[in-house]
Amino acid sequence: MADTALVDLLTALADDELVLGHRHSEWTGFAPHLEEDVAFASIAQDEIGHAAAFYTLVAELTGDDRDRLALGRDHTEYRNAIICERPNRDWAYTLARHWLYDTADGRRLEALERSSNESVAALATKIRREERYHLIHADSWMRRVAGGPVEGRTRLIDAMALAFPEAVGIFEPVEHEDELVERGVLPAASEQMKAAFLEEIRTALDRLGLPTQGHAHAADAAEFVASSSGDLISQGPAAREPAEASSNGVGGRSGIHTDDLRQLWEDMTTQYRSNPGATW
């Protein structure tokens, strides 16, 4: 019988990468400038490549087919974290999520590199090499937007207020996590990784001069910010839409998703559903 707990964990990892990779790919042709368009499309492909690698491990355990796992399931069967399925909104939100996700993923892969399951450990090591570059990419953008002109900075603060609370959902445990931790397959419990992640993010936000409270509104922090010309500009809250209330980002690991996933799924699986089992 297949190792249910491990299958659940690998499926969650794969679904995170596939769904976020698909969201990233939606920028293709629309990113803020051409070079970034190419760079971000490559990152999207990397994430989908990681998903393919995780689905391959699942397929080996269950005798299933990795394409069917990726595209042939109903949207209610996906186990990705809610934050991965959220629409891109603007570049600031995409950047905030990319940074939060890859930081969280770094924590997760760091633990999985020490997994007692050799295939999982080897794959985590391989993926982490690429994720290291993704983090450099995200960090480089964050530093520039956070320290740049007021509009970008303000948008980033609003985006972070939406994304940060939901990013915590990346560490929502899969059903039989205790068993995986006990067996050493998952060498760190989600709670433990979450604490380390929150500490890392708060320190980084502090260094970037961004609010560290998840729900803080941009106006609290961006009242006077240096513009690109060096002048101090006052930015009133009336200039922007108020930040939307966001969920706590939990539920995805047990298949409870937002309608955003259904919409993404319709789009992502159109081709597969029109001709199931076709190969490319």
Partner 1 sequence: MFEVFRRSGHRDPFEHCGSVIAPDPEMALLMAKECFLRRREGQHLWVARRSDLHSFSDETLLEIAADKSYRFPEGYRDVVAKREKARARAKELQD
Question: Interface residues with partner 1 (CB under 8 A)?
Answer: 45-46, 49-50, 53, 126-127, 129-130, 132-133, 136, 279-280
Question: Least distance from C-beta 280 to partner 1, angstroms?
Answer: 8
The answer to whether 217 and 242 have CB atoms below 8 angstroms apart is yes
Helix (DSSP H) and strand (DSSP E) numbers for the chain: 12, 2
* 189, two tokens: 């419990």
Query: What is the rounded CA–CA span in Å between residue 202 and residue 181?
Result: 26
Parallel, antiparallel or unpaired: strands 232-234 and 224-226: antiparallel
Q: Which is nearer to partner 1, 1 or 278 (CB)?
A: 278
Q: Nearest Cα to 235, choosing from 247, 245, 227? A: 227
Q: Which is nearer to partner 1, 45 or 62 (CB)?
A: 45
* 213, two tokens: 């409270």
Question: Least distance from C-beta 20 to partner 1, angstroms?
Answer: 16
* 62, two tokens: 């269950």
Q: Nearest Cα to 100, choosing from 209, 194, 221, 216? A: 194
Question: Least distance from C-beta 161 to partner 1, angstroms?
Answer: 32
Question: Least distance from C-beta 132 to partner 1, angstroms?
Answer: 7
Question: Least distance from C-beta 127 to partner 1, angstroms?
Answer: 7
Query: What is the rounded CA–CA span in Å between residue 193 and residue 188?
Result: 7
Q: Which is nearer to partner 1, 132 or 144 (CB)?
A: 132
Q: Nearest Cα to 248, choosing from 188, 176, 192, 171? A: 171
Number of Cβ atoms within 10 Å of the Cβ of 128: 18
Q: Which is nearer to partner 1, 118 or 280 (CB)?
A: 280
Question: Least distance from C-beta 234 to partner 1, angstroms?
Answer: 37
Query: What is the rounded CA–CA span in Å between residue 257 and residue 77?
Result: 10
Question: Least distance from C-beta 136 to partner 1, angstroms?
Answer: 7
Q: Which is nearer to partner 1, 30 or 133 (CB)?
A: 133
Q: Which is nearer to partner 1, 35 or 231 (CB)?
A: 35
Q: Nearest Cα to 4, choosing from 61, 52, 89? A: 61
Q: Which is nearer to partner 1, 132 or 273 (CB)?
A: 132
